[in-house]
Amino acid sequence: MFAAISGFLAVVVLILLIVKCKLHPFIALLISGVALGIVNGLGSVGSVDAFSKGFGDQLSTTGIVIGLGAVIGGLLVSSGGAETIANVIIGRSRAALVPLAIGLVALVIELPNLFEVTFVLMIPIVFSVARRLGKSALYVAIPMAAGMMAAHGLIPPGPATVIAGSAVGVDLGLVTLLGLLVAVPVFASGVWLFPKLFQRQYLTYEVSDGSEFGFAETHHDRAPGIVAALAAVLLAPLLMVLGTIGNAIFAEGSPGAAVAGFIGSPIIALLLAALYSLTVLGLGAGMNASKVLSESKASLKPVVNVLLIIGAGGGLKEMLSAIGLSDTIADYTAQWAIPVVLLAWIIAALFRIALGSGTVAVTAAAGIVAPMVAQADDVHKALAALSVATGAMIFSHVSDGAFWLFQEYFKLTVPQTLKTWSLLVTVQSVVGLAGLLVVDGVVALL
């Protein structure tokens, strides 16, 4: 009981440190995590050791995956590949289909990128298309955000799915297959359903037209073609899916299984995609070796903050496990007569609403959910991982950096941002849960 009470208080302290004291989540996680270990008798040295172990374990795979993804995304932008993708998809769309096209562009570009990177990349496109159509920027921005969230929360190598999948110990190729399936209704709910229900209201808001940001068009004399650009973002997910299929086809220990396991590894898949990007998008776009190196370094700078939070979240997860809280919650919640998919979603949603950070919510919730599905088959482990990632999408608010990113670029008021951005991701989260419950029900019938 004391572990449960102290764990709850540690979460409260964490919230206060982030929201009230304005501490960086990394520092707040470190303080609350170590303090939790000390009050539960682990001692100062034991608490620090447990936190450090969780930090390292969390980043052992996730850090490499996110770093490689950032390199791919950075070269996609600097080479003009992202612009090529946008021009091809948007340029061939009728005006009525522009929101769908923008959503697809955002989804594709988000695959190897951090959310903030894709957002900043898409902003000039959003304002440009809105001016071309003579409409509010939100007409284009909402579908953009919907596409980004569908990729960010449901399709590897997005951090949410990588963190949750690694925590529960499931093949990310399987997570990709099921994530793609559920991403369809989640994407549609943001691009079509949400605007249909709320567009009449939010299109009346006075928002920025982008002129104050002075976005300049970038011209790339040797920008990659559409095939080369798409290959950079789709190569890693494709290799992971092929790896999963190969593991199912080839006998364990066979050369085919070895090859499938190699190319299906997230690290290897992203490494190959990064090498492709360095050569085809970098050198192929006319950059010299020094310029490619410079762009690679620049693309890694934004991930430092994210990696610190992810690692510290892993430290807190390890601490929850070390004091026995994860097992206690798992034993208690196992008695609830609700599907694990729903339970995992609820736990992640509660962390998301309480803490604001989706990354912290995924990491903390995955640590609690993992023991619940330890004996489950791979399909149910993948569904649990996706439930955690989907639950952590819900209701982004003032404790979330993405909330302020959306608010600042479009010059919305806080209430307007809650009625647009926050409500959008909540609708997508609930639709994602519904999709996962349907898949879970179908699997039960097979």
Q: Is the pLDDT of residue 215 over 70?
A: no
The residue written with tokens 């948007």 in the block is 90
Residues with Cβ within 8 Å of residue 104, at least 6 apart in sequence: 89, 147
420 or 62, which is more confident: 420
pLDDT of residue 195: 96
Please give the pLDDT value at position 216.
44
341-384 pLDDT, tens per residue? Answer: 999 999 899 888 877 778 888 988 898 888 888 889 999 999 99
pLDDT of residue 334: 63
Q: Is 221 helix (H, G, I), strand (E, B) or coil?
A: coil
Q: What are the percentages of helix, strand and coil residues in the chain, rounded to 5?
A: 80, 0, 20
C-alpha 76/C-alpha 53 separation (Å) is 34
pLDDT tens digits, 158-207:
888 989 998 999 988 999 999 999 999 999 999 999 999 999 999 999 99
**Domain boundaries defined on the chain:** 2-445
- Angle, helices 255-264 vs 226-249, to 10°: value is 140
pLDDT, tens digit (0-9, with 9 covering 90-100), for 359-370: 888 988 898 888
The pLDDT tens digits of the residues spanning 238-287 come to 888 898 889 889 988 899 999 999 998 888 988 999 999 999 999 988 88
Examine the pLDDT at 416 and tell me if it is beyond 90: yes
Give pLDDT, residue 378: 93
User: If pLDDT is split at 50, 70 and 90, which confidence band does 333 have?
Assistant: low
Which tens digits make up the pLDDT trace of 14-47? 878 887 888 888 898 899 889 999 999 899 999 9
Distance of CA 123 to the CA centre of its chain: 19
Whether the Cβ atoms of residue 80 and residue 285 lie closer than 8 Å to each other: yes
C-alpha 81/C-alpha 71 separation (Å) is 13
Which two structure tokens, joined as six digits, stand for 57?
Answer: 């374990």
Q: What percent of the chain has pLDDT over 70?
A: 94
So what's the pLDDT on residue 92?
A: 66
Helix (H, G, I), strand (E, B) or coil at 165: helix
Pair of tokens at residue 26: 């990394």
Total-model pTM: 0.76
Q: What's the pLDDT at 302?
A: 72
C-beta pairs of 359-362 under 8 Å, 24+ apart in sequence: 359/159, 359/160, 359/163, 359/306, 359/309, 359/310, 359/313, 359/392, 360/25, 360/29, 360/309, 360/313, 360/316, 361/391, 361/392, 362/159, 362/160, 362/163, 362/164, 362/313, 362/388, 362/389, 362/392
Given the structure tokens 């522009």, which residue do they identify?
Answer: 98
